[in-house]
Amino acid sequence: MASTTPPRPDRRPATRARVAAVAALAAVALVGAACSSGGASSSGTTSTTVAPTTTTTAPGPGPGPTSLDGVAVQLQTIVAPGSAGGATGSTTTTVPGSVGEVTFLDNPTAMASRNGRDQIWITERGGTVRILTVNTEWDATAGKPKRTGYTLLPGNALDISSLTTEDGERGLLGLAFSSDGRTLYLHHTATNGDVVVAAYDVVDGQPFSGGTGGPPPRAETVAKVDPASRRVLLTIPHQDASNHNGGQLTMGPDGYLYIGVGDGGGTGDPNGNAQNLDTLLGKILRIDAATFVPLQSPYGIPVDNPYAQGGGKPEIYLSGVRNPWRFSFDRANGDLWVADVGQDQIEEIDWLPRIYGAGRGANLGWNWFEGNQPYRTDGTPPEGTVKAFQTYPHANGACSITGGYVYRGTGVPSLVAASAEGGSVYVYGDYCTGQVRGLLSRRGIVVADAPLGVGTAANNLVSFGQDDDGELWVLAADGTLSKVVSR
Ligand SMILES: [Ca+2]
């Protein structure tokens, strides 16, 4: 189970300070044996004056960048907003060589790259699924394809608008693909408010990689999703309130499907769902969506799920979350980063390192804690709740965190540089301010948390996305789809 202490440093190489301390200790230890070691140490350093206090060297982030001041990014608009509710989109792409667009996005909620196919799929809250193609051409000099632009295909790959609603925080909220790209998973609310995870078969259709020979094909011809192939994996009762549905679907590095589910809504988790292991509300779930149990279940339970053998619902991966609207895995090391939307005061980021189980079985604390501040006052919190890695207050317009991704691409050298010496930059934002921020940490220590100088309009920053190359995208509720690029 998780510890009450802050996450410990990971297995990165020791810092110079630590190495120095270890060397000093080694020198002390060698004093007694030095005479017989035959000059194993050639330093000649006299160690008799080394004080024992050198053993208490405080942990730190170690050497490396100390701020995000050198990060220089901009948002490149790939799809601009269309006229609100209008029939004619004004969408353009700004990437040279891309095909002129004929449509726009309507209230996008999430995006996912369909592995290896140069397709970015986007959910729209009303229930439609769109395809943005990554256009390429062969670069003979480089000996590999190069990107020439993007095309938002007209039409829908899938339309489930009759199965959902858009009241409150409801709608089509998330998507993920199986690792072979042949199964699409959707996270949406049903017309009665229940949280549903469903699977669909995806069949490759007409390939399209751009080109200038006329209008692009329609989405449904590039990839076919048969509505009749729909298989409901999970239905979670959620009719009391229209908020806190969760919404994240992520295919984990272990090949299991991770599902974010909010606490059921209302204020303060009135039913105590997040701390109740007998409900799926207020949890992140993990299922084996690639298998099923005949006559029993449309999915399997990973054998090492924390409650697979009892003690709680077997689908539960971690508990104690309020509304984990977005979470993601660091593609470089498998660490899990959860952004849990706060109540009235504090937003939080949870870092769950892979080497300590990536949060498996963890209790992230809600509703005993909002961020790291006590929330409930009617008892004693259980031991072992995980402290938030970083928090921020509702101030200066900030009010709802939008979780993102650790940057592991190559297209923004300044972000790569900021991640030097084993560090990472978690790019996230706040829905209300629209501000995109970076959280620089190293060896389990927060080094910097700062705005990156870009963002969306207020009350628009819905989601981040990550493409096959590890580059990050920003989805705005007004229909703007942009890519984080170097400035
Ligand atoms: Ca928490």
DSSP string, 48-59: TT--GGGGGPPP
Residues 169 and 48 in one domain: no
pLDDT digits (tens, 9 = 90+) for 4-48: 344 333 333 333 333 333 333 333 333 333 333 333 333 334 444
Q: Check residue 55 and give its pLDDT.
A: 56
Q: How confident is the model at residue 93 (pLDDT cuts 50, 70, 90)?
A: very low
> How far away, in angstroms, is 370 Cα from ligand 1 center?
6
Helix (H) or strand (E) run with residue 219 in it: helix 219-222
Query: How many angstroms is it from 265 CA to the middle of ligand 1?
Result: 16
Measured in Å, residue 374 CA sits from the centre of ligand 1 at: 10
> Residue 258: is its pLDDT beyond 50?
yes
Q: Are residues 116 and 49 in the same domain?
A: no
- Across 23-27, 48-52, 292-296, 479-483, least confident range: 23-27
Calculate how far, in angstroms, residue 162's C-alpha sits from the geometric centre of ligand 1: 35
Radius of gyration of the chain (CA): 24
Question: Are the CB atoms for 350 and 359 separated by under 8 Å?
Answer: yes
CB atoms within 10 A of CB 106: 18
Ligand 1 centroid, distance to 361 Cα (angstroms): 14
Q: How far is C-alpha 325 from the geometric centre of its chain's CA atoms?
A: 9
Range of the domain at 134: 73-486
Is 67 inside a domain boundary? no
- CA 397 → CA 303, 433, 434, 461, distances in Å? 44, 6, 9, 13
- Same structural domain for residues 56 and 122? no
Do residues 44 and 80 share a domain?
no
User: Residue 399 belongs to a domain with what CATH number?
Assistant: 2.120.10.30
**Pair 77, 53 in one domain:** no
Do residues 477 and 460 lie in contact, with contact meaning Cβ atoms separated by under 8 Å? yes
CA of 276 to the centre of ligand 1 (A): 15
Lowest mean pLDDT among 88-102, 179-193, 231-245, 363-377: 88-102
Q: Would 462 be classed as within a structural domain? A: yes
Q: What percent of the chain has pLDDT over 90?
A: 76
Domain count for the chain, please give it: 2
Beta bridge partners of 201: 183
Point out the domain boundary residue: 38, 60, 82: 60
Residue 472, in any domain of the structure: yes
255/166 same-domain check: yes
Q: What are phi and psi of 154, to 5 degrees?
A: -70, 155
437 located within any domain = yes
| Res 22: pLDDT | 36
Ligand 1 centre distance from Cα of residue 392 (Å): 12
pLDDT band at residue 56 under the 50/70/90 scheme: low
> 340 CA distance to ligand 1 centroid (A)?
7
- What is the mean predicted confidence (pLDDT) over 51-75? 84
Kindly give the distance from the C-alpha atom of residue 263 to the centroid of ligand 1, in angstroms, as a whole number: 12
Q: Higher-confidence residue: 162 or 149?
A: 162
Bridge-partner residues for 476, per DSSP? 461
- Per-residue confidence (pLDDT) for residue 21, from 0 to 100: 37
Average pLDDT over residues 420-441: 98
Report the separation in Å between the CA atom of 78 and the middle of ligand 1, taken as the mean of its atom positions.
Answer: 35
For 327-381, how does the pLDDT look when each residue is reduced to its tens digit (9 = 90+)?
999 999 999 999 999 999 999 999 999 999 999 999 999 999 999 999 999 999 9
In this prediction, residues 93-101 reach a mean pLDDT of: 39
Within-domain flag for 65: no
C-alpha neighbours within 13 Å on the C-beta side of residue 252: 26
Cα–Cα distance, 215 to 217 (Å, whole number): 7
Half-sphere exposure of 176 (CA within 13 A, CB side): 23
Task: Flag whether 238 is in a domain.
Answer: yes
- Dist. CA 364 → ligand 1 center (Å): 4
3 state SS of 267? coil
Per-residue pLDDT at 53: 52
pLDDT of amino acid 88: 33
Q: Pick the residue with more confidence: 214 or 176? A: 176
Query: What predicted TM-score, i.e. pTM, was given to this entire model?
Result: 0.86
222 and 161 in a single domain? The answer is yes
Residue 36 has a pLDDT of 35
User: Could you tell me if 54 and 78 lie in one domain?
Assistant: no
323, 262 contact by CB (below 8 A): yes
Residue 126 pLDDT class (50, 70, 90 cuts) = very high
Q: How is residue 440 written in tokens?
A: 């620089």
- Cα 308 to ligand 1 centroid, rounded to whole Å: 23
Decide which of 294 and 456 is more confident. 456
Q: Rounded CA gap, 213 and 82, in Å?
A: 24
Residue 112 has pLDDT above 70, yes or no: yes
Environment class of 452 (CB within 10 Å of its CB; exposed 0-12, middle 13-18, buried 19+): buried
What is the percent of the chain where pLDDT is above 70? 84
Q: Are residues 104 and 211 in the same domain?
A: yes
Residue 400 lies in a domain: yes
pLDDT tens profile 135-156: 999 999 999 989 999 989 989 9
Same domain for 192 and 166, yes or no, is: yes
β-strand partners of 224: 203
Are residues 108 and 23 part of one domain? no
Tell how far the Cα of 136 is from the centroid of ligand 1, in angstroms.
Answer: 43
- The answer as to whether 419 is a domain residue is yes
Asked if residue 464 has pLDDT above 90, the reply is yes
**Residue 381 Cα to ligand 1 middle (Å):** 12
**Nearest alpha carbon to residue 406 among 352, 461, 361:** 352
CA 83 to ligand 1 center in whole angstroms? 39
Q: How far apart are the CA of 371 and the centre of ligand 1, in A?
A: 5
Asked if 130 and 122 touch (Cβ cutoff 8 Å), the reply is yes
Residue where a domain stops, chosen among 12, 36, 60: 60
Residue 24 φ/ψ, nearest 5 degrees = -65, -45
In a shared domain, residues 300 and 439: yes
* Domain end marker among 21, 36, 60: 60
- Cα separations (Å) of 464 from 99, 161, 316, 327, 441? 24, 23, 25, 10, 19
pLDDT at 124 over 70: yes
Predicted local confidence at residue 4, as pLDDT:
39
Q: What is the distance in A from the centroid of ligand 1 to the CA of 30?
A: 46
Q: How far is the CA of 366 from the centre of ligand 1 (A)?
A: 5
| Mean confidence (pLDDT) of the chain | 87
